[in-house]
Amino acid sequence: MKKIILLLFLLSASLTKADNNPVGARAAALGGASITLSDVFSAQNNQAGLGFLKKASVGAYYENRFLLKQLSYSSFVGAIPIKKGTFGLTYTGFGYSAYKQSKLGLAYGLALSENFTAGVQMNYLSYRIGDIYGKASAFTVELGLQGKLSKNVIVAAHVYNPNRAKITDYNNEKLPSQLRFGIQYIFSDKLIALAEAEKSSYNAVNFKGGIEYSPAKEFYLRAGATSNPAQASFGVGLNISSLKFDLSSSYHNVLGFSPQVGLSYVFGKSSTEKAPEAL
């Protein structure tokens, strides 16, 4: 059984970028296409999205990857707007006692104009592999841009670890860089579609996409897919004033289901906020 868990763990780690995986059950339901979104989870997904936030908020996310607790992935995020811009704090953790990976990041997003924002984040990564291999750590940087080209079109770009941080001296091992481009089209107040292309220095291009439909006020249905690995996803969301609850799952045809749950709270919010109108 331990060998099976280890095999699944290694495969899971190779299929997903645990140190820079999108967080939030909303993003998960949309196939991970998240860099054009603007919410508290932007502290992990694209720091530029923080520039549009006007109120402090917190969020938590948990994924039970392939229904194995050893592959659990969790995240806690927070956003605090100041006079100019918004600070974000994020923590993510992946794995179990034999292998643990964590990321602690401090972000800042700033509105350059009414329709364009930029963001930056510094990260401290920590790795622990059993009792024999010990620990390793590294510092990484990530940068993001987000812009509203019109009231219907949002575009974004994000780069992770452009400095190719070195994790160990052995074999000069370096962490991969990652580049993402995304677009969101707003059909109406009830329907949006998102598409994203992601390229890692170690992997082929991964295409992501998703749709979100609101059949009733403050209730959302979502579906998405990715190409590398090939996975489908789906989920629902419920916004109750300041509280947002999201439930989702992705499906891999070999490894099975990975259910996710997310919860966020916006302080001082009296009604559901929407992204600022453009132009």
3-state class of 176 per DSSP? coil
Residue tagged 């006020």 (tokens)? 217
pLDDT of residue 135: 85
HSE-CB of 203 using CA atoms within 13 angstroms: 21
Sorted by sequence, the CB contacts under 8 Å of residue 110 that are 6+ apart come out as 51, 84, 85, 86, 117, 118, 119
Q: Is 150 helix (H, G, I), strand (E, B) or coil?
A: coil
pLDDT at 18: 52
Tell me the mean pLDDT in the region 227-240. Answer: 95
Q: At 68, is the secondary structure helix, strand, or coil?
A: coil
Q: What CA–CA distance (Å, rounded) separates 115 from 18? A: 31
Residue 120's DSSP bridge partners are: 108, 143
Higher pLDDT, 6 or 31: 31
Domains and CATH numbers, the chain: 2-266 (2.40.160.40)
Predicted local distance difference test score (pLDDT) of residue 201: 86
Residue 178: Cβ within 10 Å count? 21
Q: Is the pLDDT of residue 154 over 80?
A: yes
d(CA 120, CA 108): 6
- The tokens for 120 are 């930056």
- Band (pLDDT 50/70/90 cuts) for residue 19 is low
* Mean pLDDT rounded to a whole number for the chain: 88
pLDDT digits (tens, 9 = 90+) for 52-108: 999 999 999 999 999 988 889 999 999 999 999 999 999 999 988 788 899 999 999
Backbone angles phi, psi at 253, to 5 degrees: -70, -10
pLDDT of residue 277: 44
For the entire predicted model, the pTM comes to 0.89
- 119-137 pLDDT tens trace: 999 999 998 887 666 788 8
Q: What is the pLDDT of residues 177-214, one digit of tens each?
A: 999 999 999 999 999 999 999 999 888 899 999 999 99
pLDDT (0 to 100) of residue 146? 98
Average pLDDT value for residue range 219-241: 96
Q: How far apart are CA 252 and CA 61, in angstroms?
A: 20
Handedness of CA 174, 35, 45, 56 (dihedral sign): positive
The residues, ordered by sequence, that sit 6+ positions from 211 with a Cβ below 8 Å of its Cβ are: 30, 191, 192, 193, 194, 222, 223, 224
- The backbone torsions φ and ψ at residue 10, rounded to the nearest 5 degrees and listed phi first, read -65, -40
CA distances 158 to 93, 150, 193, 198, Å, are 21, 20, 19, 9
